[in-house]
Structures are given as structure tokens and as C-alpha cells.
Amino acid sequence: MLILSRNKGQKIMINDNIILSVLEINGDQVRIGIEAPPTVTIYREEIYEAIKQQNRHAVEFNSNIEDILNQVVNQKKT
């Protein structure tokens, strides 16, 4: 992990196409602006984790549906 100190108004460059800007510092809160191409997806960590959890549930649900359908098809064959 790279750890940097920045003051209000300073920026951090990531590759040639992503810029993080420190917009405001208020106590323990820091407002950060992110400039990135539209192809770069940006999420807050808690949103990203929620999306991953929903995707895991969707995969489990689809797997359960497939199992149920296979059982129904196998029962009809016998």
C-alpha cells in the first residue's frame, strides 16, 4: 500500500488518466474528487462489497435453480 500525505488542492495521478484531488479537509473527513475515463468504474468500498455479495447470492440462486430443474427432469425420465 502506498501512503501519501496531501494538502487541500493537491492531486495524485494514477497512470495517465486518473486524477485524485483533495477538495476539502474538515476534521476527520476528507472530500476527494476523482477524474477518470467513463470506462473506469468507481465505487465506495461499502457499495462495492454489497455488489459482490449480491453477485454471490445470484450465483448460488442460479445454481440451486439448475439443481432443482435437473431433479425434475430426472424424475420425469424414471
**Domain positions in the chain:** 1-40, 43-78
Query: What pLDDT was estimated at residue 78?
Result: 62
What pTM does this model have? 0.66
d(CA 19, CA 32): 10
The reported pLDDT for the residue numbered 42 is: 96
Rounded-to-integer distance, Cα 27 and Cα 71, Å: 59
What would the pLDDT profile of 5-47 be if each residue is shown by its tens digit? 999 999 999 999 999 999 999 999 999 999 999 999 999 999 9
Q: Is the pLDDT of residue 75 over 90?
A: no
pLDDT of the residue at 59: 80
| Amino acid 9: pLDDT | 97
Burial of 18 from C-beta contacts in 10 A (0-12 / 13-18 / 19+): middle
- Grid cell for residue 34: 476523482
